[in-house]
Structure 1
Amino acid sequence: MTWEVGSRVADRYLLEELIGRGGMADVYRATDVQLHRPVAVKALREQAEGETGRLRFATEARTVARLSHPGIVTLLDAGLNDEQMFLVMELVDGTTLSRRFAEGLLAHAEVTRIGREVAAALAYAHEQGIVHRDVKPGNVLLGNDDRVLLADFGIAQLVDGATRHTAMGQAIGSPAYLAPEQVSGGDLSGAADVYSLGLMLLEALTGERPFRGTTSEVVYARLQAPPLVPSGLGERWVELLTAMTALDPSARPTADRVVAALDGSDAERTAPFDLATETQVLREPPPLQVPGRPRRLQVMAGVGVAAIALVAGWFVVGGAEDDNPMVPPVPTDVRTDLRAPLAGLHEAIHGSTP
């Protein structure tokens, strides 16, 4: 449901302009007519399911509203408008890190600053017992006042609590930045956010996403091996990013340790890293091993419903700006050795092979 510009939400927030559209919500620039201040209103597409869903939404909103940190976009209000959930947040004038990526490579000093601010926000939230679960460039806001803020904190919890997505086995997060334990449906902790931040910093430094391909390839690749970290980034970056993107969550540093590591780095390189001219890597990428057709039922049981949901295209959080576009299950440009396994996976999900 899209609200009309010029209408009022909860008889208080005057919608002035649609400024963003993501996988789960529309975002409007608005004015709080009671306090006469600009705000951002996020209209969630999901509706709270019954009285229990509404109570959970209110409880989760109160939890998120208690977050108070200079690196976190402040949640000002939340409620229901004709049964549709909405959030009111501080309005940040600026751009997103994903749009900044489109402008070209970032210098190491800038990546260090952005990474430190995001890690500090995560460390604070983790101390409060909140995991973001959707750390990605589109959720990192770069303010015109040079502030770096992490947006959409608690959105995953709000949707999860008010609807039954988790019970349905749906993955919450953006496929390009999901941690392995999110893909496999494992227990989530702050380590998942650290992994996503590591992928984001690696992309910021190289200009390339660590995992590329179709959605199913991207999902399974991170279950097989950690991403490649170019040695040309320098010893400190290689050590930090390798640790942040370890497959084992317990092997990753905590967010506050990431802050300390970035505080202690003077960004060995001042110029951006160029993948086109510096291609030395730590190791050759391993072959992608996707379970074949005879084991497709084991795939669903062993890898988890979350991974199957990703391949089927069921996402709760994330926008087109940051996610790989949805493509046919077995596109024509997929490697020959992958076509049969992916066709088997598609058949297990849909009951027929394309």
Structure 2
Amino acid sequence: MVYDGNIPQQTAGRTLGRYQIVRRIGRGGMADVWLCTDPRLNRQVAIKTLPAHDPQDTEFTRKFKIEAQAAAALTHPHIVSVHDYGEHRLPDGQVITFIVMPYISGGSLADRIETLLNTGTGMSVEEAVTYLSQAASAIDYAHQQGLIHRDIKPGNMLLRDTSWLLLSDFGIARLLSNSTEEMQTGTGFGTPEYMAPEQARGRGVGASDIYSLAVIAFQLFTGRLPFVAETTYTLTMQHILAPPPPRARLIHSYPSSWNGLFCMVWKKSQ
């Protein structure tokens, strides 16, 4: 069983395997991301640490190795590569697993969206299409290799610059989706705002990634998410039962053909 809890912030300056921790650069509900230095190759890397688990949980360790190796086998210009992976024992005896990736300093698509919102400007059609086409290419390649992402969202899309997107975190959603609680409730691991209906029911398939990308497309072209709710349950039910709001109610500067694209992708993913 996986337990909550990651490396505390005060461990900056310590090590994960051979990697020296500089500082934490990201934090989510199930994982932290650390900027580290690789002294062997004299370069900076980003290391994602997963929740601590009991060292006797050999099944988690086995699944982690399988997922890490599968992610490392992906070779695509728009997928973040995996340099290394390993385990680190904490003082209390528990073990954390970690994945080593290149450090991408340009932030994420989520950061880009937030910046545009704060400045009151919209994303250009050209920029949005660039990001979406690159993400779609990465997703299609991964599906051809038999891998489903299960957590497609702007926060998992890193930007090398304003014209180059890299999709990250392949395998992590699958690894963290096997907890007893999720199996009992039927809730699939993912991000509710972007989660496909069948994944919310506990069955993530390739079309689930396409649905999530369609949600991002809607967000980029309209400046808002298709569904917003105060609770995860209500949000999930909106994804399952409600059609997306018509584009014409939200924005008027994009070609009407985008409505057809949204409807086509939504229908294909369900």
TM range (shorter): 0.7 to 0.9
Q: Is the 8 A contact 2:188 2:204 kept in 1?
A: no
Task: Give 1:240 deviation, angstroms.
Answer: 1.3
Give the whole-Å Cα distance in 2 for the aligned partners of 1:73 and 1:229.
34
Larger radius of gyration: 1
Aligned pair partner of 1:209 in 222, 225, 250: 225
Aligned pair partner of 2:19 in 1, 10, 13: 13
Instruction: Say if 2:243 is the partner of 1:226.
Output: yes
Equivalent positions of 1:188-203 (< 5 A) are: 188-203=204-219
Task: Give 1:168 deviation, angstroms.
Answer: 4.0
Equivalent positions of 1:101-250 (< 5 A) are: 101-104=113-116, 105-144=122-161, 146-160=163-177, 164=180, 166-169=182-185, 170-185=187-202, 187-215=203-231, 216-231=233-248, 232=252, 233-246=254-267
Residue 73 (structure 2) aligns with? 66
- Decide which moves more: 39-48 or 81-90: 39-48
Instruction: Say if 2:97 is the partner of 1:85.
Output: yes
Q: Is the 8 A contact 2:176 2:189 kept in 1?
A: no
Percent identity at matched positions? 35
Task: Give 1:101 deviation, angstroms.
Answer: 1.2
> Residues 160 and 183 (structure 1 numbering): CA distance in 2 closer, same or farther, change over 3 Å?
closer
Equivalent positions of 1:255-334 (< 5 A) are: none
Secondary structure at 1:124 match in 2: helix
Instruction: Say if 2:61 is the partner of 1:54.
Output: yes
Q: Is the 8 A contact 2:67 2:172 kept in 1?
A: no
**Superposition RMSD on alpha carbons, in Å?**
1.9
Residue 293 (structure 1) aligns with? none
Aligned pair partner of 1:2 in 2, 7, 10: 7
Residue identity opposite 1:41 in structure 2? I
Secondary structure at 1:142 match in 2: strand
Task: Give 1:157 deviation, angstroms.
Answer: 2.1
Give the whole-Å Cα distance in 2 for the aligned partners of 1:68 and 1:98.
24
Residue ranges of structure 1 left out of the alignment (5+ in a row):
254-354
Give the whole-Å Cα distance in 1 for the aligned partners of 2:96 and 2:184.
20
Secondary structure at 2:204 match in 1: coil
Secondary structure at 1:80 match in 2: strand
Residue identity opposite 2:105 in structure 1? D
Give the whole-Å Cα distance in 2 for the aligned partners of 1:150 and 1:140.
5
Query: TM-score scaled by structure 1?
Result: 0.66
Give the whole-Å Cα distance in 2 for the aligned partners of 1:64 and 1:110.
27
Give the whole-Å Cα distance in 1 for the aligned partners of 2:198 and 2:237.
12
Give the whole-Å Cα distance in 2 for the aligned partners of 1:180 and 1:69.
28
Q: Is the 8 A contact 1:24 1:46 kept in 2?
A: no
Give the whole-Å Cα distance in 2 for the aligned partners of 1:237 and 1:124.
24
Report the count of equivalent residues: 246
Q: Is the 8 A contact 1:202 1:229 kept in 2?
A: no
Give the whole-Å Cα distance in 1 for the aligned partners of 2:195 and 2:213.
10
- Decide which moves more: 53-62 or 121-130: 53-62
Secondary structure at 2:183 match in 1: coil
Higher relative contact order (CA 8 A, sep 6+): 1
Q: Is the 8 A contact 2:131 2:163 kept in 1?
A: no
> Residues 145 and 241 (structure 1 numbering): CA distance in 2 closer, same or farther, change over 3 Å?
closer
- Decide which moves more: 127-136 or 140-149: 140-149
> Residues 62 and 134 (structure 1 numbering): CA distance in 2 closer, same or farther, change over 3 Å?
same
Aligned pair partner of 1:94 in 106, 118, 121: 106
Task: Give 1:145 deviation, angstroms.
Answer: 7.0
Q: Is the 8 A contact 2:130 2:163 kept in 1?
A: no
Residue ranges of structure 2 left out of the alignment (5+ in a row):
1-5, 90-94, 117-121
